[in-house]
Amino acid sequence: MPKSKVRKKTDYTINPASRTPVRVKSAGPSPVWYVAIMLGFMLAGLAWLLVYYLANEHIGWMSDLGAWNFLIGFGLMVVGLIMTMRWR
């Protein structure tokens, strides 16, 4: 009985012309003011919520805001957290 022929598969090679190197811009560390503003937003949100819980009855305009105080406090903290994604 004759032996069957084995087909040779060609190896897949990446065409070097299709891969062009891209230079990545390496940025240095974040400036000090960026970190200060980032932490300031987080602490301002925390302070807003603490003042709302502790002195709500004594501050008229804050008690008028009602549940919007949660949005303001957590919103400030979320802005600070979003800024951490750009922090180097």
CB-neighbour burial class of residue 45 (10 A; exposed 0-12, middle 13-18, buried 19+) = buried
* Residue ranges of domains in the chain: 32-86
Cα dihedral value 76, 80, 83, 84, nearest 10: -160
The pLDDT of residue 73 is 97
Kindly state the average pLDDT of the residues 59-75. Answer: 95
DSSP-derived secondary structure for 27-49: P-PPPHHHHHHHHHHHHHHHHHH
pLDDT tens track for 68-84: 999 999 999 999 999 99
User: Is the pTM of the predicted complex or chain greater than 0.85?
Assistant: no
